[in-house]
Amino acid sequence: MATPHGPARVHLRRAATPRAALMLGHGAGGGVSAKDLVLAADVAVAADLSVALVEQPYRVAGRRAPAPARQLDAAWTAVAAHLREADLAGLPLVVGGRSSGARVACRTAGAVGAVAVLCLAFPLRPPGKADRPSRLPELDGAGVPTLVVQGARDPFGVPPRGPGREVVVVEGDHSLAKDHAAIRAALVRWLTEVV
């Protein structure tokens, strides 16, 4: 799919009778096959949401280093616009992702008309860099109901709860590889509430 910064790749999983859609982005160095993204997609499809897993253009081009934030956001909004006119037309849109993908989803929620944001392992502050500014303003700026699922030992920190923002802390670290039962339960409950 064409974007201002090269082609993105979308892996679409359609629900039989969709009542909403979930668009998910990957982390900075990872892809859409991350276990927490796959889990979120499985839960969403079972809850009658169609799912679009989006690979950013830099990953499609084979690069591991992420593009600058403005390029990530522009590519994401272009993909969302295309999906809302075609495969996901007429469906309420929940956006989200893991780590860097969660940041993109928060920054662009208003621009894409999202009804909610799902953040898996939101990277609040780079580990060992206390002098770097917190990314909490990105999370605060989502402007729609937001769920953050965070590992209790995530070296990027655990965001606080806030207005319209629920934070579910599970066993594990930034990979969210340990407590899939708790993650699944949080996603099932939250998706039922927001769409």
Q: Which pLDDT does position 20 carry in this prediction?
A: 98
Q: How confident is the model over 41-55, as pLDDT tens digits? A: 999 999 999 999 999
Q: How far apart are CA 62 and CA 11, in angstroms?
A: 17
Q: How far is CA 152 from CA 110, 170, 176, in A?
A: 29, 6, 9
Q: How confident is the model over 158-180, as pLDDT tens digits? A: 999 999 999 999 999 999 999 99
Look at the alpha carbons of 181, 55, 150, 119 in this order and tell me if their dihedral is positive or negative.
negative
CA 132 to chain centre: 23
Run of H or E residues at 138 = helix 136-140
Q: Which pLDDT does position 172 carry in this prediction?
A: 96
| Domains of the chain with bracketed CATH | 9-194 (3.40.50.1820)
The total number of residues written for the chain in this structure:
195
Q: Which pLDDT does position 130 carry in this prediction?
A: 77
How many other β-carbons are positioned within 10 Å of the β-carbon of residue 4?
11
pLDDT reading at 22 higher than 80: yes
DSSP 34-77: -HHHHHHHHHHHHTTEEEEEEE-HHHHTT--SPPPHHHHHHHHH
Q: How confident is the model over 65-92, as pLDDT tens digits? A: 999 999 999 999 999 999 999 999 999 9
pLDDT band, residue 121 (cuts 50/70/90): very high
Percent of the chain at pLDDT > 90 equals 95
Distance separating the N- and C-terminal Cα atoms of the chain: 27
The Cα diameter of the chain in Å comes to: 48
Q: Which pLDDT does position 129 carry in this prediction?
A: 82
117 Cβ contact list (under 8 Å, min separation 6): 94, 95, 96, 102, 105, 106, 109, 142, 144, 145, 146, 147
Q: How confident is the model over 87-111, as pLDDT tens digits? A: 999 999 999 999 999 999 999 999 9
Residues 42/36, Cβ–Cβ less than 8 Å: no
Q: Which pLDDT does position 128 carry in this prediction?
A: 84
Residues 69/107, Cβ–Cβ less than 8 Å: yes
Percent of the chain at pLDDT > 70 equals 100
